[in-house]
Chain A
Amino acid sequence: MFRKLIGICTVLAIFLAACSPAQATPAPTIIPTKASMVEAPTAVPTAERTATVLVDGLGREVKFTNPVLTIVSMAPSNTEILYAIGAGAQVTGRDEFSDYPAEAKSLPSVGGSMGQYSYEQIAAIRPDLVLAGGINTPEQVKALEDLGINVFYLGNPSTLEEMYANLETVAKLTGHEAEAATLVDSLKARVKAVDDKLAGVADQPVVFYEIDASNPNKPYTTGPGTFIDLLIARAGGQNLPGLTDAYPQVSLEQIVLANPAIILLGDAFYGTTPEAVAARPGWAQIAAVTSSRVLPFDDNLVSRPGPRLVDGLEALAQAIHPELYK
């Protein structure tokens, strides 16, 4: 009888494990993403190590020996930043959701789903520094501090300039200032290229960026305060009018009223397709649907506050103004 119970509990545990993040087939992005960042050679810096102090996003003074040799990243955006500036060889652990670049997936995971990290795993890795991000809470930072582990909290940027500053901060931590400077220059150049392309364009089509439409009558979208909103504007489009919250749920009526010319499916990863959108009752008359401008979009490009935001900007510009990219 007891063995039956163990069996039942094991089955339940397996069931629980199977309910981990959906392994949906990644939806095709509308533009083949070019080799995005300047993948600088991931060499470990051999410069002499000096003691340095930097103030982090929580106002804490973080003392560390510069450059840091082993880092655990607690956010996917931080992982992307570290690899982009060439510090990939120094990363010894990552959170569960870090999936870009592909090399990161082979690193040991320290948890992070449902907001819980395994401090034991981080302690076992014994990194010189843990790079926390906006998705981490002050309590998590404190918990690691109490274990004697050095933590640097990289606050979420709200503009592209702040994102560049974050890149430079992480470069200072890891000793890759030169690569980061090159990267920032190239990012700025690409952003400028987009701005130049859009310079004379007067038309600003209304864009609807869908985050979730489990209830097609009340889908979730992004509003002011998010990078998506910022980048849509930068890419020559305009978001739905009248939004005030960062992730509001809007009624289908408002969408029909705004009549977006383009619909971007940020939930394409979870299986939403343009055909499914066209089939939704009430959606068929929207301009984007009638002109077949419902496009799947890789949400990670615009929701992770790292260098791939520029990829996202370019992708948005191509989606919103395809005529400029012929």
Chain B
Amino acid sequence: MRHRLLPLFWTIIFLVFAVLLSIAVGSVFIPPADLWRLLTGKFSGTLPEPLATYALIIVSIRLPRTVMVALTGAALGASGAAYQGLFRNPLADPYLIGVASGAGLGAVIAMSIQWPYSFWGLMAIPMAAFLAALLTVFIVYSLARVGRTVPTTNLILAGVAFGSFATALTSFLMLRSSGEIRRALGWLLGGASQAGWMPVLGILPYLIIGLSILLLGGHALNLLQFGDEQAHQLGLPVTRARTIILVAASLATAAAVAFAGIIGFVGLIVPHVMRMWFGGDYRRLLPLSMVGGAAFLLIADVLARVVLAPQEIPLGIITALAGAPFFLWVLRRSKNQGYW
């Protein structure tokens, strides 16, 4: 029994390491001695410089960003694993049925309006992206439905078609918007556009709902691997299970994308790596992908901050640039090459 939890244990250790790295490393170099003092010491009153600045950087910049990136990575990793299980397709990622394209369209439309500088004005773009993403999933789902079932092929086709439509519309709007194209491009390339704890609070409710449902859906996903008919005969209410898992995964992805932009590759690669290392049992794969996704995205974020400091590279670029070689290395080393 113990060995079943060992992979999760090690992955959590890796996550803790990634979190510490994310807090310790950034475009401003904080000497390890000062860092240790800040993290472990108790302070009263105002800190002397430069400790005060370091404290500000760690508490107000790095900590919320670490949490946000970890949550985003967890959402994308778990959704990726769920989508791969649902569609039984190794190329499935959380953006398969158009969540990213829909969110991008919503965000770009929202960016073309001058919102007042207030709490709701600043929430307008993530909210628009989130609603547009959910609307996209709903439209794609409705388009793909045949009677009371939703064949996976239809879902993929409708998703790809509608996604392309949304992407084209987004590009068109970006070209016509003149001033906002820089802002839109930055958003589309990924990376937390809002700083502080607000995006964390914004994303949290949807992640809690979505991820808890996904974590409970491991057994259903295992059954679905046998095919719809077999799963049905084994007692799984196939359409209902698929819909619930799809909605949960899409909810988590939509929330992640709304606040963090479109970060590709995480949802595709992390489940694969976890599967190669620890096997394809979804009851384990989902939590592993969640934790692994968080750790992977944190490392990518550290690289994004550090490689060209003080310039920050959008996260979506780093995940592909750094993730692809890593994945190819894992693929080469894997003992289960060709397992699909």
Q: Are B61 and A114 in contact (CB under 8 A)?
A: no
| Chain B binding surface, main DSSP class | helix
B182 within 8 A of A: yes
- Assess whether A137 is in contact with B183, with CB atoms less than 8 Å apart: yes
A213 to chain B, nearest CB (A): 16
Known contacts: A59-B117, A146-B196. The answer to whether A114 contacts B60 by CB under 8 A is no
Q: Which residues of B contact A190 (CB under 8 A)?
A: none
Q: How far is the CA of A8 from the CA of B179 in the complex (A)?
A: 37
**B222 interface contact, C-beta 8 A:** no
Q: Mark A1-42, 1 if CB is under 8 A from B, else 0.
A: 100010011001100110010000000000000000000000
Min CB distance B91 to A, Å, is: 24
Choose from A96, A114, A118, A138 the contact partner of B186 (Cβ within 8 Å): A114
Q: Which residues does chain B contribute within 8 Å of A226, judged by CB atoms?
A: 178
Chain B residues near A60 (CB-CB < 8 A): 117
- Tell me, rounded to whole Å, the shortest Cβ–Cβ distance linking A210 to chain B: 16
What chain A residues lie within 8 Å of B122 (beta carbons)?
138-139, 142
Cα A249 to Cα B303 in complex, Å, equals: 36
Check B182 against A115 for contact (C-beta < 8 Å).
yes
Nearest to B333 among chain A residues (CB) is A1
A148-B56 in contact given A9-B325, A116-B186 (Cβ < 8 Å): yes
Nearest CB to that of B26 among chain A residues? A120
CB within 8 Å of A: which B83-104 residues: none
Looking at the assembled complex, report how far the CB atom of B161 sits from the nearest CB atom of chain A, in whole angstroms. Answer: 26
Q: Among A124, A134, A141, point to the contact of B57 (Cβ < 8 A).
A: A124
The docked-state distance in angstroms from the alpha carbon of A16 to that of B311 is 12
Complex: A254 Cα to B195 Cα, angstroms: 45
CB distance from B65 to the nearest CB of A (A): 9
A60 CA to B50 CA, complexed, in Å: 30
| Interfacial chain A residues near B27, Cβ < 8 Å | 111, 118, 120-121
State the CA gap A123–B157 with chains docked (Å): 48
Q: Does B16 contact A (CB under 8 A)?
A: no
Task: Write out the residue numbers on chain B whose beta carbons fall within 8 Å of the beta carbon of A116.
Answer: 186, 191, 311-314
Give, as a whole number of angstroms, the nearest-CB distance from A71 to chain B.
Answer: 17
Is A109 within 8 A of B310, CB to CB? yes
Question: Chain B contacts of A146 at CB under 8 A?
Answer: 60, 195-196
Whether B61 lies near A123 (C-beta < 8 A) is: yes
Q: Would you call B196 and A246 a contact (CB within 8 A)?
A: no
Question: Taking the complex as formed, is B121 at the interface, i.e. its CB lies under 8 A from any CB of chain A?
Answer: yes
Interface size band for B:
35 or more
CA distance A113 to B50 in the complex (A): 27
Question: Nearest B residue to A156 by beta-carbon distance?
Answer: B179
Contact assessment for A121 and B28 in the assembled complex, using a CB-CB cutoff below 8 Å: yes
Which of A16, A108, A141 is B308 in contact with, Cβ under 8 Å?
Answer: A16
Q: Which residues of B contact A110 (CB under 8 A)?
A: 310
Chain A nearest CB from B252 CB (Å) reads 22
Does B322 lie at the interface of the complex (its beta carbon under 8 Å from any beta carbon of A)?
yes
Pairwise interchain contact A245-B193, C-beta atoms closer than 8 A:
no
Q: Min CB distance, A123 to chain B, in Å?
A: 5
Say yes or no: is B230 at the interface (Cβ < 8 Å to chain A).
no
1/0 contact trace for B260-276 toward A, CB 8 Å?
Answer: 00000000000000000
Q: Are A59 and B116 in contact (CB under 8 A)?
A: yes
Residue among B117, B186, B311 having the largest count of chain A Cβ atoms under 10 Å? B311
Question: What distance in Å separates the Cβ of A74 from its nearest Cβ neighbour in chain B?
Answer: 12
Question: In the complex, what distance in Å separates the CA atom of A225 from the CA atom of B176?
Answer: 12
By a CB distance below 8 angstroms, the chain B residues around A96 are 310-311
User: Do A114 and B116 contact each other (CB < 8 Å), given the known contacts A134-B179, A143-B195?
Assistant: no
Is A147 engaged at the interface, CB distance under 8 Å to the other chain? yes
Is A197 on the interface with B (CB-CB < 8 A)? no
Q: Provide a sorted-by-A list of 23 A–B residue pairs whose CB atoms are within 8 angstroms.
A: A5-B325, A5-B329, A12-B322, A16-B308, A16-B313, A111-B310, A115-B185, A116-B191, A116-B311, A116-B312, A116-B314, A117-B312, A118-B27, A120-B57, A120-B305, A120-B310, A124-B53, A137-B193, A139-B194, A142-B117, A148-B56, A226-B178, A247-B178
Top 9 A-B residue pairs of the complex, sorted by shortest distance between their CB atoms: A115-B186, A143-B195, A246-B178, A116-B312, A118-B310, A58-B117, A120-B28, A118-B27, A146-B196
